[in-house]
Amino acid sequence: MADIYDFVIIGSGPSGGVLAYNLCKAGARVLMLEAGKEFTPNTFPSNEMSANASLMWSGGMDTTTDAGLLFLRGKVLGGGSIINQCLLDRFDDNALDDWRARTGVDFFSTDAMARHYDEVESHLSLHTMERCDWNRNAELYVEGFEKCGMEWAPLRRGQSDCGSGNDCIVCLGGCPRESKQSSLVTFIKKARQHGLTVETQFNVSQIIHGTNLVTVYGQQNGTARQVHGRRCIVAGGALGSTQMLLKSGFKSKLPALGNNFNCHPQFMNIALFDEIVDSHKGAFQSVKSQDARFRQQGFKLENVFAGPIAVSLLKPGFGIDHQRFMQKYRNMACIEVAVRDATAGTIDIDKTGRLKIKKTMADADWQRANAGLQVVETLFNTLGAREVMKSPIKIGLHLMGGCTLGKDGQHSVVNERFQVHDHPNLFIADSSIFPSAPGINPALSIMALAHKASEHILAECGVSSSTQVQKESPVVEVQL
């Protein structure tokens, strides 16, 4: 008889890590599957080009069918938490009230979610950025905001004693110091201490839901594999989780599968100054917009930058003009407009199982984007920028939806217990369950929802969240 795990978790990002830790801590035998490789601080790629190729799906080039939006998502142990900036904000009433109205699910409220946020944060090292963390790009950002009478606030980041000096930007390709609080160095590390088994480079091809078992088929280093779990938790993110369910034939029973795909479309705006700015040095993100008017208008402004390869890709054109622009890299400042998406798209697959993502920006989205772009232009003009480049490339970050949570099986995929409708042994608790775009960085809320999901899942097994099952009395003997 093949080895049977209590739980198989597919995916290792913010959701998968929290779930693995809580389930393992309760005494369950848990197998985590990850399509990407595992890296250590010493083996993370040393440059942008290698990072994209090694740490992201499609080399960081997932696009919509019309190539109108470019999506970035992690393919590495630790998932998106390896390549993001680990900015950890809680969702506000605005976001959660909207979700509660859309779904009728009562736990979408700041009061109901507070305990789960608290529990997740207790496992993380959190740092609110201080004035001494600012680089010149942040100083210009704040100066512009204050001159224009706009509100800003410090960012809160998941990091321990970073000691980054001048190379914080390398964290987008994996933190070489284990300072950034990724899933890999926090929850997965703790889960391994409680017995978690991890298999990397495992590409899932099909999930078969049975009465007593879930079987996961896939390829690992060119070899066909199958693994079995009494329950399976899909944690591959909006695109990954949706694609796995579509490839497994769940669409016929789940008509909402693949619908309601959202993201935060982002627009990089680069200004050239006469002075040296060196936006690539130090903590390249340390402050954020906190203006209620922006929230109402559906956008936020981010203090951000990118490496030279990414910036060169954002600049349209070629030849001598492009070369002259890149020669001014040290004179560049950047403010990014992030839009709270108003128009949902769809996720589908072709006959070969490849993703087909349809996502356009409608008038409501462009109104939000243009409002933000106008503010950025005002800020840079106030600061005396010599030239401003608005990138024509729209980058879709924070991918959400496709397996939306709700009570109605015709219009959602996952119920309020995080079970896939009519599939009691299959669960999802990642960003694919989001009912809409929140307009806030989602990583912390993904972890908080995963914590809540772990309590529901353990309750299904007859284990309370306050009870730890001893290893000599495995959880499979407690109603599994």
Instruction: List pLDDT tens digits, range 76-130.
Output: 999 999 999 999 999 999 999 999 999 999 999 999 999 999 999 999 999 999 9
Burial level of 168, CB count in 10 A (0-12/13-18/19+)?
A: buried
Are 141 and 227 part of one and the same domain? no
* Residue that has been written with the tokens 């980054």 in this structure: 164
> For the ranges 57-66, 165-174, 380-389, which has the lowest average pLDDT?
165-174
Over residues 201-208, mean pLDDT: 98
Domain that holds residue 462: 1-38+89-123+184-257+403-480
Nearest CA to 164 among 198, 119, 132, 199? 132
Q: Does 413 show up as a binding residue in the annotation?
A: no
Asked which of 385, 400, 415 is the last residue of a domain, the reply is: 400
What whole-number distance in Å separates Cα of residue 149 and Cα of residue 145?
6
Are 155 and 232 part of one and the same domain? no
Is 247 a residue whose pLDDT tops 60?
A: yes
Is 157 a residue whose pLDDT tops 60?
A: yes
Are 32 and 119 part of one and the same domain? yes
CATH of the domain at 139: 3.30.560
Per DSSP, the residues of 166-210 read T-GGGGGG--TTS-B--TTTTHHHHHHHTT-EEE-SEEEEEEEE-
Q: Which residues of 209-240 are buried (b: 16+ CB within 10 A; e: fewer)?
A: beeebbbbebebeeeebebbbbbbbbbbbbbb
**48 pLDDT band (50/70/90 cuts)?**
confident
Over residues 374-378, mean pLDDT: 97
pLDDT at position 60: 83
Asked which of 339, 369, 400 is the last residue of a domain, the reply is: 400
Asked which of 370, 400, 430 is the last residue of a domain, the reply is: 400
pLDDT digits (tens, 9 = 90+) for 412-459: 999 999 999 999 999 999 999 999 999 999 999 999 999 999 999 999
* Residue that has been written with the tokens 């009728």 in this structure: 104
Amino acid at 326: M
Calculate what percentage of the chain has a pLDDT beyond 70: 95
Note whether residue 47 is domain-resident. no
Are 305 and 355 part of one and the same domain? yes
Q: Facing residues of 70 across strands?
A: 63, 395
What whole-number distance in Å separates Cα of residue 244 and Cα of residue 262?
18
Handedness of CA 331, 165, 173, 287 (dihedral sign): negative
Q: Facing residues of 265 across strands?
A: 396
Note whether residue 251 is domain-resident. yes
What whole-number distance in Å separates Cα of residue 2 and Cα of residue 74?
31
**466 pLDDT band (50/70/90 cuts)?**
low
pTM of the model: 0.94
Are 273 and 291 part of one and the same domain? yes
Evaluate whether 457 touches 23 at the Cβ level (below 8 Å).
yes
Are 356 and 242 part of one and the same domain? no
**318 pLDDT band (50/70/90 cuts)?**
confident
What whole-number distance in Å separates Cα of residue 12 and Cα of residue 237?
10
Amino acid at 206: Q
What whole-number distance in Å separates Cα of residue 120 and Cα of residue 22?
11
pLDDT at position 469: 43
What whole-number distance in Å separates Cα of residue 417 and Cα of residue 365?
32
Are 105 and 251 part of one and the same domain? yes
Burial level of 55, CB count in 10 A (0-12/13-18/19+)?
A: buried
What whole-number distance in Å separates Cα of residue 423 and Cα of residue 248?
13
Domain count for the chain: 2
Is 475 a residue whose pLDDT tops 90?
A: no
Q: Does 204 show up as a binding residue in the annotation?
A: yes
CATH of the domain at 474: 3.50.50.60
Note whether residue 243 is domain-resident. yes
Evaluate whether 293 touches 148 at the Cβ level (below 8 Å).
no
Average pLDDT, the chain: 93
Over residues 290-303, mean pLDDT: 95
pLDDT at position 472: 36
What whole-number distance in Å separates Cα of residue 280 and Cα of residue 330?
8
pLDDT digits (tens, 9 = 90+) for 326-357: 999 999 999 999 999 999 999 999 999 999 99
Evaluate whether 401 touches 231 at the Cβ level (below 8 Å).
no
pLDDT at position 6: 97
User: What dihedral angle (degrees, nearest 10) is formed by the CA atoms of 440, 444, 446, 451?
Assistant: -150
| Integer-rounded Cα radius of gyration of the chain | 22
Note whether residue 45 is domain-resident. no
What whole-number distance in Å separates Cα of residue 135 and Cα of residue 283?
6
Is 317 a residue whose pLDDT tops 90?
A: no
